[in-house]
Copies of this chain bind each other. A is one copy, B any other.
């Protein structure tokens, strides 16, 4: 990887954008030049990167001239407007928003699962939803060996998935122990929705807005994106997405049904060597994944693997990963790295 690239980050001051900066440095991404783009309001502000100070530029179509790869994480409407402009000017866009994910012309990629799809790109590659990424990384090695028929997931999602203001809300509320349900809530579950609920000492069974069928958008993302990434349009997927008072690290209680009978030991065997996965399952020593210990860690951790007591092809798993890293920033950079290696950049 000697090729040096000009990189742009759109939305560099957000929770995911900050992690993208860290990952580019930590992974020694071959950067020739880097630009930080934002709305007119933030343009002119200064931002640190690798010991140097940069001025944030306004994200206009022209700002993408000369950019090789543009990492977008500034909301769906920004991507909708500017990603095509970046592509028009020769950039490859890796978009962390949901805007293009289900577009049949846009590959939706988790390199451990469907790296081959990168070859079919038309300038834009979508980075999947955080909860979806960690689940498919863990399920793909099982699917390869035993097939996959059904998935039922209940999530325990960290507030960082809702941005820096949600982390701050949890911090403030956590200090106001005596106030209980009377703490002030302005951000969660969804900033733009009329009602807000406390997250400290609470769990909220709403992430993103509701859709017609009673599932939330977050739940439908898990359902639809899983099928697209795994190329399993007939996979039966159901999701219940819940916000919990955790800063970083999404956890998932996942029930699966595979196609071929398997044992817990066989699942251990495929997972312990699987790319991007750490098997953390030693109940005799109370070893299982927990979100507080995965913050700033790259892998997807899997544990609590049990065979269903009634269905010989049914298994229960507990999957945890840092939602801002493998769930967002890290996966985006891994997409860029894979494209470089495969001469797609």
Q: Is the CB of B156 within 8 A of A242?
A: yes
**Which of B203, B293, B306 contacts A215, CB < 8 Å?**
B306
Contact flags A150-185 to B (C-beta < 8 A → 1, else 0): 101010100000000000000100110100110000
Binary B-proximity of A196-220 (CB < 8 A = 1, otherwise 0): 0110111111100010011100000
A244 contact from B156, B177, B214, Cβ within 8 A: B156
Q: Which residues does chain B contribute within 8 Å of A72, judged by CB atoms?
A: none
Partner of A292, one of B189, B201, B223, B303: B201
Q: With A and B bound together, what is the CA distance between A241 and B205 in angstroms?
A: 17
Residues of B within 8 A of A193 (CB): 286
A250 to chain B, nearest CB (A): 10
Q: Is the CB of B286 within 8 A of A206?
A: yes
A111 partner residues in chain B, CB cutoff 8 A:
none
Against B, the Cβ 8 Å flags (1 = close, 0 = not) of A230-268 are 000000111010101111000101010000000010000
Contact B203 A236 (CB under 8 A): no
Shortest distance between the CB of A98 and any CB in chain B (Å): 19
Closest residue to A252 on the B side, CB-wise? Answer: B154
